Amino acid sequence: MATPGATVASQEEASDLRHKLERWNHEYHVLDTPSVPDSEYDKALRRLQALEKSYPELWDPASPTQRVGAPPLEAFDSVAHPVPMLSLDNAFSDEELAGFLRRVKDRLDVDILPELVAEPKLDGIAVSLIYRDGVLERAATRGDGTHGEDITQNVRTIGSVPLRLQGEDWPEYFEARGEIFMPREGFEAFNERARAGGEKTFVNPRNAAAGSLRQLDSRVTAQRPLEFCAYAAGEHPADAWPQCHWDVLQHFKSWGLPISAHARRLKTLDDCVAYYEELAVERDRLPFDIDGIVYKIDSFAAQTELGFVARAPRWAIARKFPAQEAMTRLLSVEFQVGRTGAITPVARLQPVFVGGVTVSNATLHNMDEIARLDLHSDDSVVIRRAGDVIPQVVSVIAEQRKSQAAPIVGPSSCPVCGSPVVRVEGETALRCSGGLVCPAQLKAALRHFVSRRAMDIDGLGEKLVEQLVDRGLVRNVADLFALQAGALRDLERMGEKSSNKLVAALEAGRKTTLPRFIFALGIREVGEATAESLALHFGSLEALAAADTEALETVPDVGPVVAQHVQQFFASPRNRAVVDALLAAGISWPAVAPVGAEDGPLAGQTWVVTGRLESQSRDEAEALLKSLGARTAKSVSAKTSVLLAGPGAGSKLAKAETLGVEVIDEAAFLQRVGASS
């Protein structure tokens, strides 16, 4: 029988939404294996909220709209929160944020908006930390908001959580609340190791943090790269306590509890919007995931007057960023061949807007990843795009799979040249056995060879490389230097001017450096840093080519696998013929004196190069510094010895001046390295 005012369809929709949300909630908070992206959860929750608002008779005290989080796991002791840990309402537009601020003024009956504090909304796990007499007594998850899980032993392993507070002015007892999260770099490294070992990977850094905190063995948690950031106080003494949220954060900081470096006080809606836009731009460059901004009324007196609704405070709101995960449909899987013959599966997708862009392709890594996902044709999949990371398929929604869907299987022959596909023992990748007979491998090798960090030959884009190989003008990288302008003019979009320009670029490209040349050869596992180490260690291509694996393993950062790849490359008659042809074509570089880092006059120093240099490129300056024993870095820190700053130096110069790091210009640099040489 229909509830008065609500149709049968409304009742059924509300019931269906509650069941879905409860299941998704359990998957997200308890199992750490979400089956749908946050955007789908948020959409369903908002729809249920709208139904319950339109039809009050549908309201249910057990509805997901009235809950926070999920019940604690039985594996951990349950603890009661002295003050409930509530969730936050969300704003998905400037208009919704303006509505929240307008309601604040109306409820406080004021004309001027009270001051706010804005902080990035970290995408991690909310926790409660109890300190007694300055010592960490207990740590707990948020759980369902009233009861959480006792994770004290695991939290003790996190280096950024102080076990004993600094200073002396902290109260005898208080509760700090914050977020435990996994930085992106640590997350990517963890998943890479898991894939290599055939172990479970995590969908995103948030789930990696949750899974790490729920380890029954705290020694496992200790190996995970977790961090903590405090954002609020829970239970605390009534007397001698700050009167506003901002001052609480400053006290936390003085006691050794980390707080967000991006926290800021704001006064108006325009301030709030500007802060949101600023963090939206900065978001992709941050070392951790954030999914929005939290705005809080600063004054505790005003917070008390505003009060709470069932599951959230009226004095705070989260302004959400565009979702980094979204659901879409798999159209097909294509297999691409790289320069080393590795065959990479790529998902072709029904276009979906995620992470601020429209995504139609995503990486699948390798066949092991496809097996882990249990990927089938026409599956509904969850896509993740965070920052500049290539979009990837992170999970499959199996419940939406069609009965006739077939599993995705790898190719038995190369999709480009038809050569047999092999899988080397101990490797995850399938490989085409065709070598440079395979046009795809040759094209990829050419693109790598001419790239900016390798030989840096301008004008040889992907389309031109395709034509050069397809028309038989280039059969290996050395053939590039035999190209004539007349032959180039017959190619598409290659007139006389562009042909002459490319020939000139090839001529200029004959002069390079030994590290760049080694990197350009495309030896497996030899990146820029390894190429530089090899060049500085051996001093010449001849010495490198003659080295055995034992000699190669004496080079810093070169292990058995890399040593074997280098030795095998130069042992190949075909590769040596290409190298000889390149040298015969006039490729040359300045002599390199083999100097170990421990022997150089700048040994033990760390340099950072920034801005525009007149006498040489920044790469050349860094190579010179390394040849003198210095270490180079991309960012300024307290460990930086010297900053070489040319015109146009920006934030790195400002940070160096703040930290008291020595700063020199190019003239002083040339004088110093000249004296050191």
Domain with residue 568: its CATH number is 1.10.150.20
Whether 81 is in a domain gets the answer no
Q: What is the CATH number of the domain that holds 108?
A: 3.30.470.30
Whether residues 132 and 275 fall in one domain: yes
Number of CB atoms found within 10 A of residue 106's CB = 9
Whether 212 is in a domain gets the answer yes
Q: What is the CATH number of the domain that holds 338?
A: 2.40.50.140
pLDDT for 115: 97
Residue 577: what residue type?
A
Residue 372 Cα to chain centre, angstroms: 21
435-451 pLDDT, tens digit each: 767 899 999 999 999 99
pLDDT higher for 635 or 269?
269
262-310 pLDDT, tens digit each: 999 999 999 999 999 999 888 888 889 898 999 999 999 999 999 987 6
Please give the Cα distance from 253 to 493 (Å, whole number).
61
Range with lowest mean pLDDT among 380-384, 409-413, 519-523, 598-602? 598-602
Q: Last residue of some domain: 293, 320, 347?
A: 320
Whether residues 196 and 56 fall in one domain: no
Whether residues 656 and 538 fall in one domain: no
Q: What is the CATH number of the domain that holds 620?
A: 3.40.50.10190
Q: Is residue 531 predicted with pLDDT exceeding 70?
A: yes
Whether 401 is in a domain gets the answer yes
C-alpha distances in angstroms, 68 versus 64, 147, 292, 553? 8, 10, 18, 54
C-alpha distances in angstroms, 395 versus 213, 343, 589? 22, 21, 48
pLDDT higher for 33 or 578?
578
pLDDT for 387: 57
Asked whether 129 and 162 are in contact (CB, 8 A), the reply is: no
pLDDT for 597: 46
Whether residues 156 and 266 fall in one domain: yes
Whether residues 308 and 333 fall in one domain: no
Range with lowest mean pLDDT among 4-18, 460-474, 500-514? 4-18
Please give the Cα distance from 547 to 508 (Å, whole number).
30
Q: Please give the average per-residue pLDDT across 141-164, as a whole number.
A: 90
Give me the active site residues, please. 121
Burial of 473 (0-12, 13-18, 19+ CB in 10 A): middle
pLDDT for 3: 47
pLDDT for 41: 85
Whether residues 240 and 136 fall in one domain: yes
Asked whether 104 and 314 are in contact (CB, 8 A), the reply is: yes
Q: Is residue 42 predicted with pLDDT exceeding 70?
A: yes
Whether residues 106 and 248 fall in one domain: yes
Q: Is residue 338 predicted with pLDDT exceeding 60?
A: yes
Question: What is the number of structural domains in the chain?
Answer: 6
Give 389's pLDDT tier (boundaries 50, 70, 90): low
Please give the Cα distance from 321 to 358 (Å, whole number).
15
pTM above 0.85, yes or no: no
Whether 74 is in a domain gets the answer no
Whether residues 499 and 528 fall in one domain: no
Name the percent of the chain lying above pLDDT 90: 49
Whether residues 130 and 264 fall in one domain: yes
Q: Is 580 left (phi over 0), alpha (psi -120 to 50) or beta?
A: alpha
Whether residues 221 and 294 fall in one domain: yes
Whether 213 is in a domain gets the answer yes
Which residues have CB under 8 Å from 79's CB, separation 6+?
138, 140, 147, 148, 149, 150
pLDDT for 593: 65
Please give the Cα distance from 530 to 515 (Å, whole number).
9
Residue 461: what residue type?
G
Q: Report CA torsion sign: 584, 590, 594, 596.
A: negative
Whether residues 156 and 223 fall in one domain: yes
Closest CA to 120 of 251, 287, 244: 287
Q: Please give the average per-residue pLDDT across 217-228, as a whole number.
A: 88
Question: What is the C-alpha radius of gyration for the chain, rounded to an integer number of angstroms?
Answer: 30
Highest mean pLDDT among 55-59, 202-206, 274-278: 274-278
Q: What is the dihedral of CA 470, 471, 472, 477, to 10 degrees?
A: -60
Average pLDDT taken over every residue of the chain: 88
619-634 pLDDT, tens digit each: 778 877 877 878 888 7
Number of CB atoms found within 10 A of residue 63's CB = 21
What's 164's DSSP letter? B
Q: Last residue of some domain: 260, 289, 320?
A: 320
Q: Last residue of some domain: 295, 320, 345?
A: 320
179-195 pLDDT, tens digit each: 999 998 899 888 888 87
Name the percent of the chain lying above pLDDT 70: 94
Give 1's pLDDT tier (boundaries 50, 70, 90): very low
Range with lowest mean pLDDT among 192-206, 275-289, 509-523? 192-206
- CA atoms within 13 A of residue 99's CA, in its CB half-sphere: 10
Give 145's pLDDT tier (boundaries 50, 70, 90): confident
Whether 140 is in a domain gets the answer yes
Domain containing residue 572: 514-584
Whether 92 is in a domain gets the answer yes
pLDDT for 434: 81
Whether residues 197 and 153 fall in one domain: yes
Whether 596 is in a domain gets the answer no
